Amino acid sequence: MSLRFLGVVLVSVLCWSVVPGRAAAQPATPPALPAPTLPEEPAPLPAAELAPGRAHESLWRDEWGRSGWPNYVMIGSSAVIALGNIIRAADEERPNRGRNDFDEAARDALRLPVEQQRLVIRDFSDGLLTLMTSTPVLFDALILAAWAHADEAAAIEMVFIHAEVIAATLALQTFANVAVSRERPYGRTCGGGGPDDFDEDIFFCNSPDRYYSFFSGHTSQAFASAAVICSFHMNMPLLGDGAQNTVLPCAAGFAVAGMTGLFRMLGDMHYASDVMTGAAVGTAMGFLIPWLLHFNPRHPGEVGVSIIPGPTGVSLTGVF
């Protein structure tokens, strides 16, 4: 979990440091060259310098809210809260081993029978998480917005939006992990003595991570990223105009996020209720934060709204 937090911060910071370099340096149009022998109209860049379909059109509308110091504070405070929760760690002395019929039935139906299979499916879920958390930054912001549309300003905003969502979701998820301290499904196999059971002494059974079942971090981050992808494509013609260019990315994103949650249950890392809660929280954060803080059209003097996670929950602040 701590590595995930570090990765979020590093990706956001580095993309924030790389993309503004391009926004600061690349002019939107080539500067005019003085010489009476030059043609009156500035010549376009050679085709080799342009990406396919590249056009100098602005994706970001003026009425949308741009990132500023309140957003940076939000990202930073969310990261600090997540770090604090990680340091505090789960209550290993009094874990939550509560079970219910729904979760037990789902586990019996989905859990893969062999540990090697569960290992492979857990690795696949890690890969899908990598794909989902990277897509809004690498594909939507960097490739589509900054490169294909030559709109570095919009790309920067998209990176910050994604960082806000990931950081806020991580803060909530780590808080829930520690507050609930629910044992993962495989925990009941620690020290079981069976051929597929784990030794009590191995790291799998002997770390706070054993009690971070509620709610699923992989699922919440994947669904949050899917919702961010959907928000981007709903509000900006990244793939061009047309309903299919909005529906397909949304559908694909949520399909991959759903697979991530399913793989977590197949790998015996989470119960069904953990995954469903993670999906709901991630989806809500992924849609609400971009809309409230950015895509909600505003006029001068209109109210501004901020969502700031706190130690005991989330605060909603409005400025009038």
Partner 1 sequence: MAGRGIRTILLVTLVALGSAWPAEAQEAGSEAASESASESASASESASEADAASESASETEADELSEPGPALDLGDEPDPGRAPDPAPAEGLQPGEHPPLPTEPPPVPVPDLDAERESFWGLPRWHIAGVVDLGFLFLRPKFYFAYGTPHETFIALEVDPLISGQGVGAYGGLRGQIPWGSLRVGARYFFTFTRSFLFAMDQFDHLQVRDRSGPPSRYLSLEAQLDLNVPIGPLNIVSEITGTYVTLVEDGLFAFEESLHVILDPPWVWSAMLGLRVRFGDAEEFYIQPSGEVVHLVERNEVVVRVGLRAGVRMWEDLEVRLLAMPAIISPDSLGAAGGDTFLLGIHWRWATDPFDAPSSEEPSEAILGP
Taking phi first (over 0 means left), then psi (-120 to 50 degrees means alpha), and beta for anything else, what does residue 307 get? beta
**Total of residues contacting partner 1 (CB under 8 A):** 59
- Comparing CB distances to partner 1, the nearer of 117 and 317 is 117
Rule CB under 8 A: is residue 89 a binding residue for partner 1? Answer: no
Tokens representing 226 are 């899917």
C-alpha span between 286 and 166 (Å, rounded): 8
Tokens representing 182 are 């629910």
Q: Which stretch binds partner 1 (CB under 8 A): 142-150, 272-280, 294-302, 306-314?
A: 142-150
Q: Which stretch binds partner 1 (CB under 8 A): 72-80, 88-96, 135-143, 237-245?
A: 135-143
Q: Are 82 and 5 in contact (CB under 8 A)?
A: yes
Q: Which of 70, 111, 112, 204 binds partner 1 (CB under 8 A)?
A: 204
Q: Are 190 and 210 in contact (CB under 8 A)?
A: yes
CA 208 vs. chain centroid, Å, equals: 23
What are the CA-CA distances from residue 13 to residues 18, 49, 82, 156, 221 (Å)?
9, 27, 17, 11, 18
C-alpha span between 315 and 317 (Å, rounded): 6
- Comparing CB distances to partner 1, the nearer of 132 and 180 is 132
- Comparing CB distances to partner 1, the nearer of 45 and 255 is 45
Q: Which of 83, 89, 131, 259 binds partner 1 (CB under 8 A)?
A: 131
Closest distance to partner 1 from the beta carbon of 35 (Å): 7
Bridge partners of 317, per DSSP, are 306
Q: Which of residues 2-41 bind partner 1 (CB under 8 A)?
A: 2-4, 6-8, 10-11, 14-15, 17-18, 20-22, 24-27, 30-31, 33-39
Q: Are 162 and 67 in contact (CB under 8 A)?
A: no
Q: Which of 83, 112, 120, 153 binds partner 1 (CB under 8 A)?
A: 120
Rule CB under 8 A: is residue 123 a binding residue for partner 1? Answer: yes
Q: 93: helix, coil or strand? A: coil
Closest distance to partner 1 from the beta carbon of 238 (Å): 15
CB atoms closer than 10 angstroms to residue 16: 17
Q: Which of 83, 89, 112, 138 binds partner 1 (CB under 8 A)?
A: 138
| Residues contributing to the site for partner 1 (CB under 8 A) | 2-4, 6-8, 10-11, 14-15, 17-18, 20-22, 24-27, 30-31, 33-39, 43, 45-52, 116, 119-120, 122-123, 126-127, 129-131, 133-134, 138-139, 142-143, 146-147, 198, 202-204
